[in-house]
């Protein structure tokens, strides 16, 4: 069988295709193994402390160091259940814990309200559209009371956003959000990884807040009666 024989050519092409398939499968297997290692690493770090501030920093630190997300924020649900407050940020110039957002408002508020992740690939266009609608309503005096633009820490040139609810069973603990200046920066795999991390983070944050509350109650009982402390 000569090198120019059609059967020989077909055989070489089939071998090449098989090798490509094998290489792709090996790459996917290596990536899945690495993903498992990443989740295990983050889980170990998150559950290593009951200090709320440390938990928040560990989660956001893992976002950048392990998953490569440079801009992230954690918002926690307020006791009244009608708003979120920024508790920690990473990669932004604005300080944390200075902004609130109502449940149901914007991407993050909708994520909190519906308890579902949201992935947006063209945030700039969406923001311009919403601002135009808001300006039109304000011009004719139809904007709802208190319907001001929410100033959250964020990128001035943000293009992509991925936000996930932090849930313990059906109870909302907060929202984890990551951003990027690149359009369509987050894919389905990013969402899957962050969904697993958000589940771990929700439990760790909830445990830390409970520990903080119990510790505060214990200190109050040293100075007040148990009934008054409660």
d(CA 61, CA 65): 6
Report the distance separating Cα 225 and Cα 230, nearest Å.
9
Contact between 162 and 178 (Cβ < 8 Å)? yes
Contact 209, 55 (CB under 8 A): no
Q: What pLDDT tens digit does each residue of the chain (230 aa) get?
A: 555 566 666 666 766 777 777 666 666 556 555 666 777 777 778 888 889 999 999 999 888 887 888 999 999 999 888 899 999 999 887 655 568 889 988 889 999 999 999 998 877 655 554 555 455 555 666 555 444 445 577 777 888 999 999 999 889 999 999 999 898 889 888 888 888 888 889 999 999 988 888 888 888 777 777 677 66
Strand partners, 125: none
Residue of 178, 153, 175, 157 whose CA lies nearest to 64:
178
Instruction: Quote the pLDDT of residue 206.
Output: 92
Instruction: Please name which of 25, 26, 33, 35 lies closest in space to residue 190, comparing C-alpha atoms.
Output: 35
pTM higher than 0.75 for the full model?
Answer: no
Distance CA 135, CA 130 (A): 9
Distance CA 166, CA 76 (A): 9
Letter string b/e over residues 5-30, b meaning 16 or more CB atoms within 10 A of that residue's CB = eeeeeeeeeeeeeeeeeeeeeeeeee
φ/ψ of residue 6, rounded to 5: -55, -40
How far is the CA of 11 from the CAs of 3, 6, 23, 201, 216, in angstroms? 11, 9, 18, 52, 74
Q: What is the CA radius of gyration of the chain?
A: 24
Cβ 158 vs Cβ 168: under 8 Å = no
Residue with tokens 């958000």, as numbered in its chain: 198
């Amino acid at each position: 069988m000569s090198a120019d024989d059609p059967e020989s050519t077909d055989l070489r092409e089939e071998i090449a295709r098989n090798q490509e398939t094998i290489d792709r499968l090996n790459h996917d297997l290596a990536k899945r193994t690495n993903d498992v290692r990443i989740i295990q690493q983050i889980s170990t770090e998150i559950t290593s402390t009951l200090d709320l501030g440390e938990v928040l920093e560990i989660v956001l630190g893992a976002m950048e160091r392990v998953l490569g997300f440079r801009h992230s924020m954690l918002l926690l649900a307020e006791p009244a259940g009608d708003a979120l407050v920024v508790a920690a940020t990473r990669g932004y110039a604005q300080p944390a814990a200075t902004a609130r957002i109502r449940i149901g408002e914007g991407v993050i508020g909708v994520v909190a309200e519906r308890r579902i992740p949201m992935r947006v690939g063209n945030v700039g266009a969406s923001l311009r559209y919403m601002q135009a609608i808001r300006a039109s309503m304000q011009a004719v005096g139809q904007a709802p009371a208190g319907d001001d633009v929410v100033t959250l820490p964020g990128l001035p040139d943000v293009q992509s956003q991925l936000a996930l609810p932090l849930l313990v069973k059906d109870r909302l603990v907060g929202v984890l959000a990551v951003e990027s200046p690149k359009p369509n920066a987050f894919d389905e795999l990013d969402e899957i990884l962050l969904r697993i991390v958000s589940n771990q983070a929700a439990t760790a944050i909830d445990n830390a807040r409970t520990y903080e509350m119990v510790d505060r109650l214990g200190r109050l009982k040293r100075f007040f009666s148990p009934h008054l402390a409660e």
